[in-house]
Structure 1
Amino acid sequence: MSKIDLIQTALQGALQPEHLQVLDESHMHSRGQETHYKAVIVSEQFAGLNAVKRHQKAYAAMGELMQQVHALALHTYTPQEWAEQGVAPASPVCAGGHK
């Protein structure tokens, strides 16, 4: 099972998202393959939580798997927020080692 599959499985199981997209963005960085990820998570479990608490829930879902990831960009939405926005922002160019 690939690392992206492990991330998806961990987030899916804990957060039961209505929408989940996990992208490997390692190609945008110089730290090697399977190091940088972006996750777009839409879950009712985020209702009433600020960004910090939403991210803490996602990190908790990842558990020990976080030790294998250098960077994880989280974009967390409630279903209502996602219906209004419908798209996560593009990832910035890495200032610390863009190829």
Structure 2
Amino acid sequence: MTDTATGPVEQAITDRLTAALAPTLLEVQNESAAHRGHMGDDGTGESHFRVVIESAAFAGVSRVERQRMVNRALADLLVDRIHALAIVARPPA
């Protein structure tokens, strides 16, 4: 979890993944503070994220395609708002 309130990028990630993939589990972690001063740090405090998502939409889908599904849902954010995104995507157990 983050030590600050949810920012607009973090909220946009949550909203878009919820709408696109109807997850049964969704954790969006802002890891930007750990990358402060590194390449890709834009100073907003919202540039590096980790997503853990579980969705029935991932059943029977390869790991690579699950990541592509997440990337498609966040495509415009990945262009200029998100520098780094770590993804753990899996179907429900």
Deviation per residue, 1:11-70 (Å, 9 max, x gap):
100000001010100011132421100000000111111111000000111121111100
2:9 to 3, 9, 15: 3
2:49 maps to 37
Extract unaligned runs of 5+ from structure 1. 81-99
Q: Does the alignment pair 1:64 with 2:83?
A: no
SS of structure 2 residue aligned to 1:56: helix
Flag structure 2 segments of 5+ consecutive residues without an equivalent: 1-6
The residue identity in structure 1 corresponding to 2:47 is T
Aligned partner of 1:27 in structure 2 is 33
Please give the TM-score of this superposition, normalised by the length of structure 2.
Answer: 0.81
| Separation in 1, partners of 2:28, 2:14 | 7
Match of 2:3 in 1: none
